[in-house]
């Protein structure tokens, strides 16, 4: 089952290869597009998202340049491995996020190897989505887009709102009503996005965006079915490699499936460019109430069994029909990796552990990677002496309600002297 146009369906201009004014200049010559499902190859087009032969989702292919040069900092440091020609990207200095060794958590779970957290909450709007948005919105601006759209569980919304504001592009968001964390909704409102709240799930919101971008070229989608966006997210792999080399494992929370696929793509491109010889294994972590990919992996299925009403406290990965499922499953299989499920209770425990042992504030979805790591170590899938990077995808401030669930000793003092007694006495 694909959340894409079906084979043989009439595909309007938004899916075709129509040359957009200026596009030949912004897309590099060594770039083309390929279907993840059937392998069909297409010329690169900013407005081509799905395969005209089978309806499958496309990927951007960047052939290794003759010379790879890294300059500057952040996502655009890796310009030579990105698909766009631009000297003035739409940027908020995203990327260059901390890679922190988390020794206390390693000790807590009896892990003897090297354990690192790639803290994507340090991006400008507080999540990894900024890496993709700088590329997607730069492309949108270069081809003359005036109106962008996106469906979101929250992080895509806040990131798209900030970057389109910086680019001077109108943005309309389609959000599942009542299911977006307060911090993310607030960011989207602050940056001036128009918001359509739909009764239903994120998957319903995404259907609306796909349909709108299918029938009209007046709106440009910024969701991850737009393969150009994922090109920015692959830079997570580049930064990990530059700092510690190639780890044995990279553990990633999985919702719509784009990020784990992008990171895997990044490592493969480093190898194709002759910069590395080995590749990591990829572990995808899903919440048990929204785990179509992990369930399919457990059952040995080639395709996921979609979840109609996904539920989890980790709102960023509360997705039952991941649009990038084929890319995510390919990343795990090619890397000899795994998918794993974790409960909401395990996610919250990991969130608290990450905050209180390492000082790293993560929203629940961001902490899911820690919960998944713990389970995989306990099950012996990840050996205790290996080198592992867990990707912490979003900042704690994204979801203030989840932070308030953490256990805390709170008291009220009626006088200064009483407050002093409570502090000094400790009881």
Q: Express each pLDDT in 256-294 by its tens digit.
A: 999 999 999 999 999 999 999 999 999 999 999 999 999
pLDDT at 23: 60
| Strand 147-151 with 220-221, pairing | parallel
Under a CB-based contact definition with an 8 Å cutoff, are residues 231 and 46 in contact?
no
Provide the percentage of residues in the chain whose pLDDT is more than 90: 89
Given a cut of 70, whether residue 94 has pLDDT beyond it is yes
Q: Is residue 26 part of a domain?
A: no
- Mean pLDDT over 39-54 rounds to 94
pLDDT at 120: 98
pLDDT, averaged across the chain: 92
Q: Is residue 386 part of a domain?
A: yes
Q: Is residue 119 part of a domain?
A: yes
pLDDT category at 25 given cuts 50, 70, 90 is confident
Given a cut of 50, whether residue 7 has pLDDT beyond it is no
Q: Is residue 179 part of a domain?
A: no
Of all helices (H) and strands (E), which one includes residue 149? strand 147-151
Q: Is residue 9 part of a domain?
A: no
pLDDT category at 13 given cuts 50, 70, 90 is very low
pLDDT category at 82 given cuts 50, 70, 90 is very high
Q: Which of 17-31, 96-110, 262-276, 307-321 has the lowest mean pLDDT?
A: 17-31
DSSP 77: G
> The dihedral of CA 271, 231, 57, 369: what is its sign?
positive
Neighbours of 196 (CB within 10 A): 14
CA distance 233 to 120: 11
Place of tokens 């020609």: 85
pLDDT at 219: 96
Under a CB-based contact definition with an 8 Å cutoff, are residues 269 and 64 in contact?
yes
| 156-212 pLDDT per residue, tens | 999 999 999 999 999 999 999 998 989 999 999 999 999 999 999 999 999 999 999
Under a CB-based contact definition with an 8 Å cutoff, are residues 363 and 398 in contact?
yes
pLDDT category at 310 given cuts 50, 70, 90 is very high
Total domains, the chain: 1
pLDDT at 247: 98
Q: Is residue 176 part of a domain?
A: no
Under a CB-based contact definition with an 8 Å cutoff, are residues 111 and 357 in contact?
no
pLDDT at 216: 87
Q: Is residue 317 part of a domain?
A: yes
State the DSSP string of 214-256. Answer: HH-SSSEE-STTSHHHHHHHTHHHHHHHHHH---SEEEEE-SS
Domain span at residue 269? 99-126+229-403
CATH classification of the domain holding 396:
3.40.50.1100
Task: Give me the torsion for CA of 87, 90, 93, 94, rounded to 10°.
Answer: -120
CA distance 408 to 355: 13
Given a cut of 90, whether residue 253 has pLDDT beyond it is yes
pLDDT category at 105 given cuts 50, 70, 90 is very high
| 362-371 pLDDT per residue, tens | 999 999 999 9
Q: Is residue 273 part of a domain?
A: yes
pLDDT category at 217 given cuts 50, 70, 90 is confident
* Burial class (CB within 10 angstroms; exposed 0-12, middle 13-18, buried 19+) of 160: buried
The number of C-alpha atoms within 13 Å of 94 and in the hemisphere containing its C-beta is 29
Strand partners, 300: none
Given a cut of 70, whether residue 70 has pLDDT beyond it is yes
Provide the greatest CA pair distance for the chain. Answer: 78
Under a CB-based contact definition with an 8 Å cutoff, are residues 301 and 336 in contact?
no
pLDDT category at 102 given cuts 50, 70, 90 is very high
Strand partners, 194: 172
């Amino acid at each position: 089952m694909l959340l894409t146009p079906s084979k043989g369906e009439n595909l309007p201009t938004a899916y075709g290869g129509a040359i957009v004014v200026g596009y030949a200049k912004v897309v590099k010559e060594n770039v083309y597009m390929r279907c993840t499902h059937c392998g069909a190859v297409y010329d690169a087009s900013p407005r081509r998202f799905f395969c005209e032969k089978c309806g499958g989702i496309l990927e951007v292919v960047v052939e290794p340049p003759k010379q790879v040069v890294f300059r500057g900092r952040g996502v655009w440091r890796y310009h030579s491995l990105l698909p766009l020609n631009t000297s003035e990207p739409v940027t908020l200095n995203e990327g260059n996020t901390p890679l922190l060794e988390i020794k206390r958590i390693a000790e807590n779970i009896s892990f003897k190897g090297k354990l690192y957290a790639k803290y994507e909450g340090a991006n400008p709007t507080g999540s990894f989505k900024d890496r993709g948005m700088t590329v997607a919105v730069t492309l949108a601006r270069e081809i003359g887009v005036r109106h962008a759209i996106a469906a979101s569980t929250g992080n895509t919304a806040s990131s798209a709102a900030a970057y389109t504001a910086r680019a001077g592009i109108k943005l309309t968001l389609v959000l599942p009503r009542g299911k977006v964390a307060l911090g993310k909704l607030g960011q989207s409102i602050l940056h001036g996005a128009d918001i359509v709240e739909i009764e239903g799930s994120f998957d319903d919101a995404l259907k609306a965006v796909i349909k709108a971008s299918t029938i009209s070229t007046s709106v440009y989608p910024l969701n991850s079915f737009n393969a150009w966006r994922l090109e920015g997210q692959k830079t997570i792999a580049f930064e990990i490699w530059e700092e510690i080399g190639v780890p044995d494992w990279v553990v990633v929370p999985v919702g719509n499936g784009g990020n784990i696929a992008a990171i895997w793509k990044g490592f493969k491109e480093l190898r194709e460019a002759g910069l590395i010889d080995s590749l990591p294994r990829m572990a995808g972590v899903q919440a048990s109430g929204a785990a179509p990919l992990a369930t399919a992996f457990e059952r040995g299925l080639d395709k996921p069994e979609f979840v109609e009403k996904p539920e989890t406290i980790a709102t960023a990965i509360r997705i039952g029909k991941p649009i990038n499922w084929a890319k995510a499953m390919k990343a795990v299989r090619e890397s000899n990796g795994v998918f794993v499920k974790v409960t909401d209770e395990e996610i919250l425990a990991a969130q608290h552990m990450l905050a209180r042992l390492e000082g790293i504030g993560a929203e629940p979805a961001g902490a899911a990677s820690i919960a998944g790591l713990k389970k995989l170590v306990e099950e012996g899938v990840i050996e205790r002496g290996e080198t592992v990077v867990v990707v912490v995808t979003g900042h704690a401030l994204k979801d203030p309600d989840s932070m308030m669930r953490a256990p805390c000793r709170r008291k009220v003092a009626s006088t200064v002297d009483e407050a002093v007694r409570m502090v000094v006495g400790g009881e």
